[in-house]
Structure 1
Amino acid sequence: MDNYIRWFQRFIWIGIVMNMVFALPALFAPALLTSVVGLPPVLSDPWLENAGMLLVGISLFYMPSGFNAPRFVIHSWLCVLSRLVAVAFWIYLIDTSNTPTVFVPMLYGDLSMFLILGVTLFMGSTPAHRPWALLVDGWHAWCQGWEARWHRHGFRVGLLITLLVLGFIGYETWYNMLRVVPEEKFTSDEDHFKYAAIGLGIEARIPYYLFAVLPQMCPEKMPKPGGWEAFGFLYENGRDLPIGMAKRQIGYPTVEPNCALCHTGSYRASASDVAKPIATAPANTLQLQAFQWFAYDCASDPKFTTDAVMTAINAKFQLGFFERLYNRYLIIPMAKTALLKQKQAYAWQKLRPAQGPGRTDTFNPTKMVVFGFPDDSTIGTVDLPQIWNQKPRESLYLHWDGNNNDIHERNYAAAMAVGATPQSVLPESFNRVTQWLLGTKPPAWPFALDQARVAQGKPIWDNNCAGCHEFGKADTGQVTTQIDQLGTDPHRLDSFTVGLVQAFHGFKKPPFDFNAYRKTQSYSNTPTDGIWMRAPYLHNGSVPSLWDLLQTPDKRPVVFNTGSDVYDPVKVGFITSGAQVQAPTYFRYDTRLEGNHNSGHLYGTQLTDAEKWALIEFMKTL
């Protein structure tokens, strides 16, 4: 037995060394640790340092067993049990994490230590010091002690009071933090698309009360005075939330984005008109990146304190006593922590040209935030696409680079990029949106048409464009032209990597199960239905109108303003110059910046001006 105990004590010290290999970097170099093991940089925060500190503390408690295991036999079995707890934790992370392979070596390490320590201690212990005997003795002692206390009146009263207090605290915690309130039911599929939750994880949701007061918390950081409209959010019918923001309540009310946030656009015939929202159109006014960084920077501001936030909330809402209590001490601090973690996770955005209205980086968030890839400096910024008319797009290779031909996969991947997880997503709600999108038609051209010119433009379209961009043609929805021949900005193409394809295909957590992704060498021939409402053009939104697209690159605008929804029915696009787009809320798009180039796609540039105008008139009808 002594020999087994000696080996047990030796492995206790080996285990302490293993703990220190993780604990010391976690304490003093958390960013280096996450980089080495391949975790997302968002985990390089004080919580990782706290984990290192706790692991050092646990290792200190291992030491008595390392010196004299027989003397501290219960303590020694707790050391074995701690390894089993670690095994269960790693299994949980492997099952739920987006980077499961990172945790496999840790699982093997703790599992090996559990087996070695358990076997050596068991073999080196007398029968009376083995787990079952110790548990039986402990149970008998506990029962005897409980029986002796139960006969005391004061103990029974104290126990009753304790249970009542704990029960009340438990109920209030469930009610304010965990209670699932049924989602609002929408009769209209379009309203469901606009306002129903699709199921994002807790860190991707913002507490409803905080969302309501955030603009007034940091007004100096807003693009202009007012509310969320300053970032291009669209409101309708007097609703308290903009289109694309859904209310979801699990304990406390929260706000989460859904598909409509990035896929509801608007237009006006003139600056004096009321904007007309178009569901499933590109969100041409939405400044998503600016909205993100406003929230991050506001949460980083020294004046963003719990007291200040609660003062603003209490001035606007009538909260109950316990609701105020949970918001003050749990909900608001949790939200601030989540925003600061996201700020760190998305710091890579500051190393690239600003996205501006109607654009986002599609796959870099998936690479770096979801899968934990290191920053490869690629630029994936693209113009937000329309999502109407999905039925004829089934089996076509879409995304700008034609990397996937499965609509369900594309939709789930988009949701995952903004914070949905296999555990949080709401399949019924999500599938209702998907089914509705299959049959949703593109908006008809809302202005007058020159029918004679439309007729002139039809054969020009057939001879120059239809082969790649009309439904039913063999090349539509396919990648047929190499990037050097196409000539458009290659950055988005380069940002989607073979490594990301492999990561997608290795992600098997229903309902997220990706099999159809591929790496291509150019951009896809996208269908052009509803093309009038999809300005600006090319994958990166670098050409403001169809007229400009039919010019050679040297004649296309080099710098122009975006963010307006006032429509130019002549050139077919949104206005980009003049007094209406000089306000600071509009974005100055510079095509000379990396990822913003307006080169390539020379098709149609050889036409005469008369032919171009006729072609444009016909394309208004698509």
Structure 2
Amino acid sequence: MTTPSRWPRWLKIALPLVLILGAVVALVAYNRFLRDYGAASFADPAERFKYGSIGAENDAGIPYWIFHVLPRVFPDKLPKPGIGYAAFGVNWEQGQELPVGFSKRRIGFDRVANTCAACHVASYRTQPEETPTLVVAGPNHTLDLEAFFRFLVDCARDPRFNADTLMAEIALSADLDLIDRLAYRYLIIPITKKTLIEREGQFQWLYRHDFPEWGRGRDDAMNLTKYFMIRWPMDDSFGPTDMPSVWNLKKYDPERGHRMNFAGDSHDPYSVIIDSALGLMGAEPKNQRDFLAHIDWLVDYLKNLPAPAYPFPVDSALAAQGKPLFDANCAACHASARTGTVVPLDEIGTDRGRIDTWGERAAVEANKVVKDMGIERAGLVEAPLTGYVAQFLDGIWLRAPYLHNGSVPTLADLLTPPAQRPQSFWRGYDLYDPARVGFVVQGVDAQQAGTAFDTRLRGNGNAGHDFGTTLPDADKAALLEYLKTL
């Protein structure tokens, strides 16, 4: 073997240069593709909830500049043309770079991912022309999540999703340096396209024509868990539910038999928040310590966040008349030891689709997936589903539409016999109707803003929960006034 002392002079000079160059290339590659620059910090906990990263950018994130230009390159794939991401009913605050529920984090390059706030920040308006009021931890009844999922896959499948087209559009908004331009053209865009197309298999059931659209403000939560967490093949179940409110979570007490999720398939707030976050991430956390620290923060924040007060005047005398009517007709389920526990389906009589999407075997497998990650939680209930949870009614005024699947537009409609409830209406308009206690669901404006809901379609049934429906009109008015105070 030739010793270094006998190496040619040119080799002695070139080798250190090659090593230095290699180190520089490695450092640049690390900084531009792998280095996690950390999550943004927020002094205001509400801002952290709305925009703070949960770590989903690693595996489920979309490169920022691709995310930025997709609506401009593919306006034909938006559910409503000409308004960008607003077409999906996201909440977007003036002056903010991204919609509520989207975080931006630099991991080599800037990436965008969803957070819990996408589904759990509500909006309402008291007048048609006013700026919406946002309520943290309320159900986002305007979000068309299914359309957003399909949009990403449909864009990736389109021939226009290529480096030439996207880079030309990106150049109109950003002055990327040479390294970023090369990275986007030859690596980031092709890899993003491949990754999004690979998700198509998990989204198969979103393209089934025999399933109704979720529409605004709903998802198919347990099927999302089946197909994303435990990777089951698609089955024939379909059980869409409303986005739930997640304020005041300390009211749930597992020691008193309380269960979470609409069908009572999870034990406690900690488990629900972990499972929801893992679903958004689509993979095991890259940094488990940081992930669990953020979960602890979320649990503490949401346990102690109060429900919002009703924003309109309340007739206190009429509400006082409604209190005994509530006690006689509602309190047995919604203000008693039974609250937060599962009511058998044959007693409540509502649509069973949600129950049929999940079961004991699925819970066992999902719990194993999380345990194998080294994450300890009470988890999902390993038992058959038998009914729906009797809901706590704090902030019930903002949780329209009603029943687990959002099939009844207003509380006034819920006090109407099932056969007389609206068969069809528009979901997703945020103008509030204080008289009926819910959102406006009919008319040109509601149609323009919302998605059609047909109670005759699978999973959308509005039967059941006929408590209080035989009361005289005057008593119903008093009961509604009292419900506004909860």
In which range does the TM-score fall when normalised by the shorter chain?
A: over 0.9
Tell me the TM-score normalised to structure 1 length.
0.74
Inter-partner Cα distance in structure 2 for 1:505 and 1:319: 44
User: Does the 8 Å CA contact 1:184/1:196 hold for their aligned counterparts?
Assistant: yes
> Which has the larger displacement, 559-568 or 178-187?
178-187
Tell me whether 1:504 sits opposite 2:363 in the alignment: no
1:475 is matched with 338
| Partner AA of 1:179 in structure 2 | R
Tell me whether 1:528 sits opposite 2:425 in the alignment: no
Which of residues 547, 558, 583 in structure 1 aligns to 2:423?
558
Deviation for aligned residue 1:225: 0.5
Deviation for aligned residue 1:617: 0.7
Which of residues 152, 158, 167 in structure 1 aligns to 2:14?
158
Which of residues 53, 67, 85 in structure 2 aligns to 1:197?
53
Which of residues 111, 115, 119 in structure 2 aligns to 1:254?
111
Tell me the TM-score normalised to structure 2 length.
0.94
> Counterpart of 1:433 in 2: which secondary structure?
helix
1:173 is matched with 29
User: Does the 8 Å CA contact 1:207/1:253 hold for their aligned counterparts?
Assistant: yes
> Counterpart of 1:316 in 2: which secondary structure?
coil
Tell me whether 1:310 sits opposite 2:167 in the alignment: yes
- Runs of 5+ consecutive residues of structure 1 not aligned to the other structure: 1-143
User: Does the 8 Å CA contact 1:482/1:521 hold for their aligned counterparts?
Assistant: yes
Inter-partner Cα distance in structure 2 for 1:226 and 1:376: 35
User: Does the 8 Å CA contact 1:203/1:338 hold for their aligned counterparts?
Assistant: no
| Partner AA of 2:169 in structure 1 | A
Inter-partner Cα distance in structure 1 for 2:245 and 2:480: 19
1:607 is matched with 471
Tell me whether 1:207 sits opposite 2:66 in the alignment: no
Deviation for aligned residue 1:514: 4.8
User: Does the 8 Å CA contact 2:221/2:241 hold for their aligned counterparts?
Assistant: yes
Mapping of residues 26-45 of structure 1, within 5 Å: none
User: Does the 8 Å CA contact 1:198/1:427 hold for their aligned counterparts?
Assistant: no
User: Does the 8 Å CA contact 1:398/1:526 hold for their aligned counterparts?
Assistant: no
User: Does the 8 Å CA contact 1:199/1:420 hold for their aligned counterparts?
Assistant: no
> Counterpart of 1:157 in 2: which secondary structure?
helix
Inter-partner Cα distance in structure 2 for 1:565 and 1:515: 34
Deviation for aligned residue 1:204: 1.1
2:237 is matched with 378
1:582 is matched with 447
> Counterpart of 1:376 in 2: which secondary structure?
coil
| Partner AA of 2:217 in structure 1 | G
In structure 2, the CA distance between the partners of 1:324 and 1:531, relative to structure 1 (3 Å rule), is same
User: Does the 8 Å CA contact 2:138/2:245 hold for their aligned counterparts?
Assistant: yes
Which of residues 407, 412, 432 in structure 2 aligns to 1:542?
407
Q: How many equivalent residue pairs?
A: 474
Which of residues 331, 356, 359 in structure 1 aligns to 2:215?
356
User: Does the 8 Å CA contact 2:57/2:113 hold for their aligned counterparts?
Assistant: no
Mapping of residues 153-552 of structure 1, within 5 Å: 153-200=9-56, 202-222=58-78, 223-351=80-208, 352-395=211-254, 396-424=258-286, 426-470=291-335, 473-479=336-342, 481-507=343-369, 508=371, 509-511=373-375, 513-518=377-382, 519-552=384-417
> Which has the larger displacement, 169-178 or 511-520?
511-520
> Counterpart of 1:209 in 2: which secondary structure?
helix
> Counterpart of 2:310 in 1: which secondary structure?
coil
| Partner AA of 2:48 in structure 1 | H
Q: Identity over the aligned pairs, expressed in percent?
A: 36
Inter-partner Cα distance in structure 2 for 1:150 and 1:613: 99
Inter-partner Cα distance in structure 1 for 2:198 and 2:385: 33
CA deviation string 1:78-102 (max 9, x = no partner): xxxxxxxxxxxxxxxxxxxxxxxxx
Inter-partner Cα distance in structure 1 for 2:4 and 2:134: 73
In structure 2, the CA distance between the partners of 1:371 and 1:488, relative to structure 1 (3 Å rule), is same
Inter-partner Cα distance in structure 2 for 1:527 and 1:444: 15
Deviation for aligned residue 1:237: 4.1
Inter-partner Cα distance in structure 2 for 1:246 and 1:537: 30
- Bigger proportion of residues as helix: 1
User: Does the 8 Å CA contact 1:394/1:407 hold for their aligned counterparts?
Assistant: no
Deviation for aligned residue 1:344: 2.5
- Runs of 5+ consecutive residues of structure 2 not aligned to the other structure: none
User: Does the 8 Å CA contact 2:162/2:189 hold for their aligned counterparts?
Assistant: no
**Which has the bigger relative contact order, CA under 8 A and spacing at least 6?**
2
Which of residues 588, 593, 606 in structure 1 aligns to 2:457?
593
| Partner AA of 2:126 in structure 1 | A
In structure 2, the CA distance between the partners of 1:358 and 1:153, relative to structure 1 (3 Å rule), is same
Inter-partner Cα distance in structure 2 for 1:416 and 1:532: 30
Inter-partner Cα distance in structure 1 for 2:328 and 2:418: 22
> Which has the larger displacement, 260-269 or 501-510?
501-510
User: Does the 8 Å CA contact 2:263/2:385 hold for their aligned counterparts?
Assistant: yes
Structure 1 or 2, whichever has the larger Rg, is 1
Deviation for aligned residue 1:197: 0.5
Deviation for aligned residue 1:485: 2.5
| Partner AA of 2:154 in structure 1 | D
Inter-partner Cα distance in structure 1 for 2:15 and 2:417: 83
Inter-partner Cα distance in structure 2 for 1:150 and 1:200: 54
User: Does the 8 Å CA contact 1:389/1:440 hold for their aligned counterparts?
Assistant: yes
> Counterpart of 2:248 in 1: which secondary structure?
coil
| Partner AA of 2:284 in structure 1 | P
Which 4+ runs in 1 deviate beyond 3 A? 512-516
Deviation for aligned residue 1:418: 2.1
| Partner AA of 1:385 in structure 2 | P
> Counterpart of 1:418 in 2: which secondary structure?
helix
Deviation for aligned residue 1:515: 4.1
| Partner AA of 2:68 in structure 1 | A
Deviation for aligned residue 1:148: 7.1
CA deviation string 1:146-199 (max 9, x = no partner): x37961223333323332332222111101101111221111111111110011
